Each structure stands twice: as C-alpha cells, then as structure tokens.
Structure 1
Amino acid sequence: MMAAPGQHPSAAQPSAAGQVEEDDLRVLFGQSTVTFASLVGPAHVVESANPAFFATIGEDRARTGVPLVEVMPELADQGFIALLDEVHRTGESYIGRDVRAVLGTGAQAREAFFDFTYEPRRGPEGAVTGVRMIGVEITQVKHARRLMAEHRALLEQIARQAPLGEVLDGMARCIENLAPQEVLVSVLLAEPDGLHLRHGAGPSLPDFYNQAIDGIATGEGVGSCGTAAHRREPVVVTDIATDPFWDDFRDLADQAGLAACWSTPILARDGGLLGTFAMYHRAPRVPQDSDLALARVFAGTAALAIERHHDEQARRDAETRAEAARAALAEVVSTERELRAEAEQRATAAAELADRIQAAAASQAAAPHPEHCQLGGADGCTAPAELKVADSWGDSAWGCHSHVEEAMVTVRSVFIADEELGGLAAYVNRRPARARHTDHPPTT
C-alpha cells in the first residue's frame, strides 16, 4: 500500500503495538452521540426522542406521552426542569456547555456531562408550543482529557526519576479517580526469577490483603494475578465467589470485600515479566472495552516506570561496585606503599647493622692476639688462644676451642671472627681435638 501524499512511508503502516495503542485511545475517547427529544406544552411531555436519548437515560425509562419529570425525576432538583420552564415562558433558547448531570438514582446513578441546547418550538402563529432538547454527551471526552492529563503527569514523574513506589501509588489513585464506577487498583512486581510477585502499590486495598498477597507465586490457577503473570496475558475473573482460580484466596477476598478481579500482565519491551496490574470491584462485574483499554494503557505506563527503575538501579549498583573496586585498589596501593616503606626501613637498619658489625670486626682484627684463652672466667684458662669470638655489640675475645664453643651456646649473637673476617672458616678448619689443651677436653 502506498503512503498518502506528504506522509512518510513508515507512517502508512503503523506497528502492531502502535495500532493497539491507537485503538485503546479511540475506545477511551469514545464517539459522542447526539441525543434529541421533543417536548410538548408547559409540562414538557415527551412527544418523541431518538434512540440515543433513551440509551443515555436508560432503556428501562424509554417512554413517551408523559412529562419529562416523570421519566427523569432527578432533573428537578438539578435545575433542568426550571430551565425548560424558562425557555417555554420566554421563547428564548438556552445553550449549556460542559454541564454536569446525575442520571438515575440510587445504585444506578451515574455522573455525566453534556453540551446541549433548549430551543423553543412554535406553532403557526408563532406561539411557543414546546421545547426541543438537543445534546451531546461529552462524558467520555471529559474523562479522556482528565486521563491524558493524569497520564502526562505520571510520565513527567517517571522522567524526573521519582521513586517507583510513588509513581505506582499515584497511578493507582489516578485510575481509581478516573473510573466511572468504584475500582480498587493493585500493582504487583515480579521478582527477578519471575516465580513470585511482590507488593508494588494498592492504596485503597486493606493492609491485611496487601500483606497476604505479597510474595504469591506465579502459576496457573493462582488467583487472577498469578495466572496472568504465568500466561503473560490478561485474566478476567468476573465473580470471585465461583471462579476456581480463587479457590485458595476466596476467603481472603471475601474478608476484603472483593467480588471481581481483572488482571493484566506488565511486560518489558523484550517480553519479560515485570509485574501485574489488577482492577478489583466490590460486586461481580464484566469489563467493558473501555475498562480493558484503560488497563492496557496504564499497564504500559507501569512497564515504563518499572523498566526505568530497573535501569536506574542497575546504574547505581554498577557505580557502587566501581566505587568499592576503587576503594579496594586504593587500600591495596596504600598497603603496598606501607610494606615498601617498612621494607626500606628494614633494609636500611640491616645495612646499618652490617656496617656496625663490619666496623667492629675490623676494630677487633686490629686488637693484639693474646697468648692464653680469655674465656675461662674468673679462674682463667691457660689454654692457648686459638679462636676469636665477637658479637653484634662490638665485644670480642680470644679463647680456646672448648670455651669458644661454650660461649657460642651460652651467649646470644656470638660469632667466630678472625683478622680476615672469616671466622666460620677458621672454626671449620680448627685443629683436631687431639691438639687441644688437655685441661679442656673438646665438646661436640
């Protein structure tokens, strides 16, 4: 099919998703129908009316030949009969714009809005004989305007990254306010594995009910929401009292005063499960096309909010991990610097100690070599001084083999040294035991 002149080729065939959205908006906006009724005389007797008029006031009240006030007694207290009296008396038309009217009484009453005209009917001689009522019900249009305003406000909340709970709670209250009949909205959020649903929003449902369904499993026959999540398609339960999906939750629903539940899955762009959007009712009820369209529109809005929340949470988690990695790296670098500084300090200390030892050894090497062992204690030792021992404090002494070995066992940090600083070699190459002084037998 070719695109119309001035139309972009891609616009000629909208996507399936885009077409569904357009259809939903068309259902929500509706098509206004002109209503007409012809009234006769000062009592405003209904002479004739078109089907749209009777459909508007209720087919059960479709009567002619009786005063309008008998057909619609609720109009008297709202001032409409007085307006008809004025038009009949003065012969001047009356035009009303966006006028609110309550049609019906009791449980059947509903709010409606009209643009209408009351025109005088005149006889052959020009006298007023009655009034013509011509009106257009704009209730759907007015509701659609409110819906679009609320929807735009929700999108602005999502754009400025308002908390998800705040967005979902506001969305639920918006739908409850827009719906022509009482409805209680619930949003459940899917866990990452898609096996359970957690509480997201339910401002008008009892707390005990929200707590009871928090964490329910997804699966066939698990209420309306669990089943909708499992099937990835809407599930409409018009009467909870008789539907087998609610066998395990019927008492809970009865305690909460819930009689019907329509649930729509909230799906991501890739088809993944994000949660469910449910509309509860106090009495058994079959959804109209406008109800289902409303659910789809706001399920899409909820999907946008939830996906944006997931993206933001993933970004924050990534930033947290990156910050933790940077902190860990900084700690490693700091520790490495400390260890390096400590190692350098130890190396410096070791070098200083080696210098002191070497200086002490050199100093000791220059000392005169005594003839007899200096390690014999107060009693002395007459054995020849064959080995020199030293310690890291710079003390040194010459002694015989036996006393040198005893000193090395008894005194800490004692080492053998000679004038060439090769004390260990001198010890290894010491004379055999038989050459040692007989007063000091060798030790092993």
Structure 2
Amino acid sequence: MTAPPAPIAPTGPQEDLRALFGPSTTLFATLAGPQHVLESANPAFLAAVGATAARPGMALADLVAEPGVQDLIAPLDAVYRTGESTTARDVRVRLEAGVQGSFDLTYEPRRDGDGTVTGVHVLGVETTQVQYAQRLMAEHRALLEQIARQAPLAEVLDGMASTIERLTPGDVIVSILLADPDGRHLRHGAAPSLPSFYNEAIDGIAIGEGVGSCGTAAHRRERVVVSDIATDQFWADFRDLATRAGLGACWSTPILARDGALLGTFAVYHRTARAPGEADLALTQVFADTAALAIERHHIESAKAAAEEAARVAHDALAEAVRAERELRADAERRAAAAAELTARMRTAAASQAVVPHPEHCQLGGASGCAAPAEIKVADSWGDSAWGCSAHVEEAIMNVRSVFIASEELGGLAAYRDR
C-alpha cells in the first residue's frame, strides 16, 4: 500500500497572517495543598514564575524568583479557600528568553472524593498575539481607509512605517523606496526613523545585483535577507554608511504591481545582526502588499490628474483658436464692409465727376464729407474714378484691391508722389 501524498502547505495572504500572528504559548501546572506544592508543570509555567531549578514537591513560594509574580499566585489562595474557580485576564508574565507575554489565567479547584479542595489547577492561554493582531489589524484597516479616501502617498507610507515600528517588538526601523520612472533607480518614499543623512545618501541608488538589500531585491524581484550588514558582500559600498546610522541587519521585499511591474521596495532594519523569523517575513509581505495598493492607487490618480490637465489645456487651446478665428473673421468682415463703402464712394464721386471733372474738395469722405483739397485721382478696374485727399486715397488703396492711382496725365500720380 502506497503512502498518501504529503499535504501541500497553503500559501498566500491568509498564511502570511497565520505566520504573522504565530502560535500561542500555554501555561499549565498542578498544585497541591495550601502551600501550592508543585506536582507537575510545563516549562512555560516554570519560566513564567522564574523557577529555574524546580522539582515536584517544592512549594510555589520557594520557586518564585520574579518580582510581581503575586499577580500569578494571589488567586491561588482564594480558589483554594473558597473552592470557586476564577479567571484573570491579560496577566503580564515572563516567558522564555525573558520576553513578556500576556495571558488569560484560569484557576480551577481540585477536589477529592468527598468534594474537599486539595489543590488548584492553573491553565494559562496566551493572549499576546491576539492583542497584537487586534492592534495591527486596526492600524492596517486605518491605512486602507487612508488609501480609499486618496490621502497623499507620503502620508500613507509614513503612517505605515510608523505603525510597524510602534507595534513590532524589538527595535525595528522601516524604509520604503519607490521605483524611479526611469526604471533604473530607487527614490526615497518613507523612512521616519532613519537619519536624514542616510536617507539622502540612498535616495536614487541604482537597481542592480549587489546594490545593498534594496537594490538587489528590486533587481531580482524577490526578497533579499541580509542578517549581518558588517560582513555581507551586498553592503560593501554602503557598510560605512550603515555603521554611521547604527544598522546591523536589513531584509528587503520588492513591492510589485498586480502585473508584476516594480513599484519599490519595503525594507526592515535592525540595530544588531539578526536573521528574520517567519513572523518577520510575514509582516513585511503583508505591508509590502498594502504599500503596492497605495502606490498603484497613487499612480492611477496621478495619471488621471495628468490626463484631466492635458484635456483642460487642449480645451483652452481650442477655445483660444476659436476666439482668434472669430476675431479674424470679424476683422475680415469689417474690411470687406469698408471696401464696399469706399467702392460706393468712388462710384458716387465718378457720377458727380461727369458734371464737375475736377472737384475742389475730396470726394471720398463718405456721408460725413471731407473738406480737404482734392489732390489725387484714383480709379478702379471697372472704370470708376474719383478725386480725394491723400488720407482718404491711402485708405482706399489699402482696403480696396482694385483701386489704383490714376494716370500721370490726369495729375494724380504726380500729386501723390510729390505730396
């Protein structure tokens, strides 16, 4: 009989969240008598009470080394005395490696066959991760709301970096770099806790193999983990800069669009050399995906604004062209009207010239008349002619194409030339 296939480990955002919140620790102990003599306990309980050399038969008071552990012990007396179970919520206790944890502790009385209380069972369920998850998800939801209402990208990214630094245990520093439109460099996006000299130095770093954690991650399109900046070859050109900034480790995750295009990098720094745990990597992936959403939304809105501005400029240009065309058309109509009027004046003058060959006054003054001497004779291609002053003659020549100065024999050209 063949063995069943091994289960496939699920991946994706849900697994990122599972890894991010991690497993919870359980405390367990069985205690006897009013002195709470230890009968059995798991290592987590012994670490919580600071019992480094515990063995069965020892009273709990003799095991306790941690200050403030009365928060763990005091309810034991009450339960043993009253026989009533009780639960203490969110009790802070020490875990292994000195890490503080939050627990819900349940104290249950132990009874013999006659119902007499003989001891206490202690069961503790860690709530640290639940509280962390609640805070983190609340902050994450606030970031998504910022993105939805189109808050400025710098505000969203700064808030994201500050949130992670505030909620993550340990001395964590977050940096977000944005892909330059040229596709070859990374630009400063957000890094509220890095010194300004460091941010200025890496603003515009090249995307390429071996260019620190972020330049390499952007080039490879995959996460790059540097556990010790002091020895890693990727940091050869930036080691002195990192030393000045007090940085010991850096792991960087590329921020990718839905189509796989590079949007930037999401980096987590530590002050000391350190390799990331599963929760660390899950945290960076969750927020790298959120940063991708914010950056893509920003690009869409920027492109939309640019298109709207281009449309506005084109509309204004078209409106200006229409206005100019109308003005030109109106000017042409005014000129045509003026030409028609002058033509009519010439015909009227020609008709009167049949009676008075050389009038004393200008004949081109129109209805208002002109008292200037008639010095120049003009004619048109239809044979009409008239005498006028130099001002009206020039106006006729400029506005009526067919008008020309009459022959020298008639005295017009000489008078015009010698005026």
Q: Is the shorter-chain TM-score for this pair beyond 0.5, marking a shared fold?
A: yes
**2:224 matched to 1:219?**
no
Instruction: Name the counterpart of 1:273.
Output: 262
Structure 2 CA distance for partners of 1:368 and 1:94, relative to 1, 3 Å: closer
Contact kept? 1:229, 1:265, Cα under 8 Å: yes
SS in 1 for 2:66: helix
Contact kept? 1:78, 1:101, Cα under 8 Å: no
Q: Distance in 2 between matches of 1:296 and 1:197?
A: 19
Q: Distance in 2 between matches of 1:125 and 1:244?
A: 72
What's the offset of the Cα at 1:161?
A: 1.1
TM-score normalised by structure 2 residue count: 0.78
Q: Distance in 2 between matches of 1:409 and 1:78?
A: 123
Instruction: Name the counterpart of 2:199.
Output: 210
What's the offset of the Cα at 1:308?
A: 0.7
Code of the residue aligned with 2:203 in structure 1: it is: D
Instruction: Name the counterpart of 1:80.
Output: 72
What's the offset of the Cα at 1:109?
A: 3.8
Contact kept? 1:223, 1:245, Cα under 8 Å: yes
Contact kept? 1:100, 1:113, Cα under 8 Å: yes
- Which of 8, 23, 27 is matched with 1:35 structurally? 27
Which region of structure 1 is more displaced relative to structure 2, 180-189 or 123-132?
123-132
TM-score normalised by structure 1 residue count: 0.74
Counting only pairs closer than 5 Å after superposition, residues 225-264 of structure 1 correspond to structure 2 as 225-264=214-253
What's the offset of the Cα at 1:142?
A: 2.1
Counting only pairs closer than 5 Å after superposition, residues 351-366 of structure 1 correspond to structure 2 as 351-366=340-355
- Which of 30, 35, 48 is matched with 2:40 structurally? 48
User: Which structure 2 segments of 5+ residues have no match?
Assistant: 1-8, 360-383, 394-405
Contact kept? 1:76, 1:82, Cα under 8 Å: no
Contact kept? 1:69, 1:76, Cα under 8 Å: no
Instruction: Name the counterpart of 1:64.
Output: 55
Instruction: Name the counterpart of 2:4.
Output: none
What's the offset of the Cα at 1:365?
A: 3.1
Structure 2 CA distance for partners of 1:42 and 1:75, relative to 1, 3 Å: farther
Contact kept? 2:177, 2:190, Cα under 8 Å: yes
- Which of 173, 182, 186 is matched with 1:197 structurally? 186
Counting only pairs closer than 5 Å after superposition, residues 342-381 of structure 1 correspond to structure 2 as 342-367=331-356
CA deviation profile, 1:26-75 (whole Å, cap 9, x unmatched): 22233434321234555545442235546x65999474355556765335
What's the offset of the Cα at 1:341?
A: 1.2
What's the offset of the Cα at 1:228?
A: 0.7
Contact kept? 1:261, 1:279, Cα under 8 Å: yes
Contact kept? 1:45, 1:64, Cα under 8 Å: no
Q: Distance in 2 between matches of 1:404 and 1:343?
A: 29
Counting only pairs closer than 5 Å after superposition, residues 129-144 of structure 1 correspond to structure 2 as 130-144=119-133
**2:276 matched to 1:287?**
yes
What's the offset of the Cα at 1:236?
A: 0.7
What's the offset of the Cα at 1:346?
A: 1.4
Q: Distance in 2 between matches of 1:299 and 1:52?
A: 34
Instruction: Name the counterpart of 1:182.
Output: 171
Instruction: Name the counterpart of 2:417.
Output: 409
Structure 2 CA distance for partners of 1:399 and 1:202, relative to 1, 3 Å: closer
The structure with the larger Rg is: 1
What's the offset of the Cα at 1:238?
A: 0.8
What's the offset of the Cα at 1:262?
A: 1.1
Instruction: Name the counterpart of 1:304.
Output: 293
Q: Distance in 2 between matches of 1:278 and 1:89?
A: 55
Instruction: Name the counterpart of 2:363.
Output: none
Instruction: Name the counterpart of 1:95.
Output: 87
Structure 2 CA distance for partners of 1:389 and 1:117, relative to 1, 3 Å: closer
Q: Distance in 1 between matches of 2:258 and 2:67?
A: 50
Structure 2 CA distance for partners of 1:261 and 1:313, relative to 1, 3 Å: same
Which region of structure 1 is more displaced relative to structure 2, 42-51 or 179-188?
42-51
Instruction: Name the counterpart of 2:311.
Output: 322
Q: CA RMSD in A?
A: 3.3
What's the offset of the Cα at 1:193?
A: 2.5
Q: Distance in 2 between matches of 1:290 and 1:154?
A: 20
Contact kept? 2:79, 2:107, Cα under 8 Å: yes
What's the offset of the Cα at 1:121?
A: 4.4
Q: Distance in 2 between matches of 1:100 and 1:399?
A: 119
Instruction: Name the counterpart of 2:102.
Output: 113
Q: Distance in 1 between matches of 2:284 and 2:164?
A: 9
Contact kept? 1:224, 1:262, Cα under 8 Å: yes
SS in 2 for 1:101: strand
SS in 1 for 2:317: helix
Code of the residue aligned with 2:155 in structure 1: it is: E
What's the offset of the Cα at 1:280?
A: 0.9
Instruction: Name the counterpart of 1:415.
Output: none
Identity of aligned residues (%): 62
Structure 2 CA distance for partners of 1:67 and 1:344, relative to 1, 3 Å: farther
Structure 2 CA distance for partners of 1:91 and 1:327, relative to 1, 3 Å: same
Structure 2 CA distance for partners of 1:60 and 1:247, relative to 1, 3 Å: farther
Instruction: Name the counterpart of 1:26.
Output: 18
Q: Distance in 2 between matches of 1:121 and 1:357?
A: 131
Structure 2 CA distance for partners of 1:46 and 1:199, relative to 1, 3 Å: farther
